[in-house]
Amino acid sequence: MTHYSLIYAPDPVLRAKAEMITAFGAELQDLVDNMVLIMRQEKGVGLAAPQLGVLRRAIVVEVAQAIERDGELIDPLPLTLLINPEITPIGNDKADGWEGCLSIPGYRGYVERWRHIAYTARDINGRPLQGQAMGFHARVIQHEVDHLNGILYTDRTDRIETFIRPTAISPPDDVSGEQ
């Protein structure tokens, strides 16, 4: 297996548009295996090939078990691979929500996204697939598809005051034992 590593902003690869995938075979499988491995190791819920320095249109998303995030219960989402994904909003509803990124570690920002999307893509064998996603799952897919177009979540807001280091707002551990 080829070894890939995460790349971090401001690496210019993160600002480049990824190319369509036309060859479905062992090389693509190797890339996808690495994407899944790294996403899980880093405890992410999504990863795009450009985040490994590979300008190809592939994303993986997964919520392995139900989680609570920002007061909302997020249902599990089985491992999903989308090759050459295209998304279309369903309806006009958007929602603001916190996002982070494995390529911008240590920060979160408040970003507006479509609540409900439809997507078309290819699977690992090049067969067409389609589906819909709502809420957090739709947010993750939109975030990862943005990576394929050289867009970072920091580009999706003009309110710099919404960018935080989550550790900065967490109460410190009380090591003194005092109340």
Those residues of the chain that have pLDDT short of 70 are 158-179
Q: Residue 143, annotated ligand binder?
A: yes
pLDDT value for 164 = 63
User: Is residue 133 classed exposed, middle or buried when 0-12, 13-18 and 19+ CB atoms within 10 A define those classes?
Assistant: buried
pLDDT value for 170 = 41
Q: Which domain holds residue 62?
A: 12-169
pLDDT value for 64 = 85
pLDDT value for 51 = 99
Name residue, tokens 């219960």: 73
Please give the structure tokens belonging to residue 20.
């369509």
Residue 89 lies in a domain: yes
pLDDT value for 172 = 36
What whole-number distance in Å separates Cα of residue 49 and Cα of residue 61?
Answer: 12
Residues labelled catalytic: 144
pLDDT value for 177 = 36
Residue 57 lies in a domain: yes
Instruction: Say which CATH number the domain at 139 has.
Output: 3.90.45.10
What whole-number distance in Å separates Cα of residue 147 and Cα of residue 142?
Answer: 9
pLDDT value for 179 = 34
Tell me how many domains the chain contains.
1
Residue 179 lies in a domain: no
Q: Residue 3, annotated ligand binder?
A: no
Residue 97 lies in a domain: yes
pLDDT value for 159 = 67
Q: Residue 116, annotated ligand binder?
A: no
